[in-house]
Structure 1
Amino acid sequence: MKPLPKHVRQRWRYLAVGIETWPDVTIDRRAFQRHLWFAAQNLLGDVGSAATDLSVMQFGHDEGTGSAIVRTRRGSVSDARAVLTCLSEVDGNPIGLRVRGVSGTVRACEEKYLGGRGEATEHGNVAFEGAERPAISRDSHVDVRVETEFVGATQRDIS
């Protein structure tokens, strides 16, 4: 069977998405895809979700930061952004998403928006609330472990 001519083929857009979670949370591609589909279905309904056709093309997550490339149809970029905004947790763990940019090809999306080095992560102890506590530092963000959970802080909070 011959492929369709270019002017008849489906056109896609690729969203570069930055992911941030607590440092001890692990998220895999399958769980992220499942929650993305549920968010699309809840926001847009069955017909809108099928028309948007969101798919996770690439996914990576480690020590609280990561990135993904999400594919959507060309006319549905604003709906895809809205769905990503509605996604606030994956498997019960809070998640922060930020669309870094939109591109017409996966390669351009990787090079333009995901090509930079990841944030440097440092493990150590900090003074927080009058006690020395273990913490993980990423750029200007510091996640301090208090008992069994993490608390988000800045450099000013830990001195």
Structure 2
Amino acid sequence: MNEPITPVIRTSAKAVVIHDGRVLLQRAAWEGQDCYFLPGGGQNPGEPLDETVRREVHEETGLTVRVDRMLWLREYIGAHHQNAATEAGTHRIETIFACTPTSDPHQLGGHHQDDLQTGLEWVPLDKVTTLNLLPHALRQPIAALASTTPPADYLGDVA
């Protein structure tokens, strides 16, 4: 009989970096598909989430950013989604922040990019819904930033 899997909770911070009506996205090759992700990553013990997002954005993109506000809180509990058999031990909690570049937004190139990352791209906000941006649940809320400032929101357990 298999032992039940106890998920390990991983906290992270992601950035919605906006400049001139465009959002900065990482291009990636993941599980055989070309896709996009928000820059950001895992929180270190003792590190506040706003410091996490600044550090991760700098590592992955080369940009320094100002953290403006929290936009959304997202969870992903692997056992509840499509790949439940292989991701039963996954439980991620992501805080997603609105950020503004404080360094030259045209000088991109991080010193510690994610293994899956294939590039960086400034994408017009009105084009985000047409992309394979993962998780898909973020496409519409990010695109809506072109016309409104939403209240901070809990997005729930979304893939």
Higher helix share: 1
TM-score, normalization: structure 1? Answer: 0.29
User: Which structure's relative contact order is higher, taking Cα pairs within 8 Å and 6+ residues apart?
Assistant: 2
TM-score, normalization: structure 2? Answer: 0.29
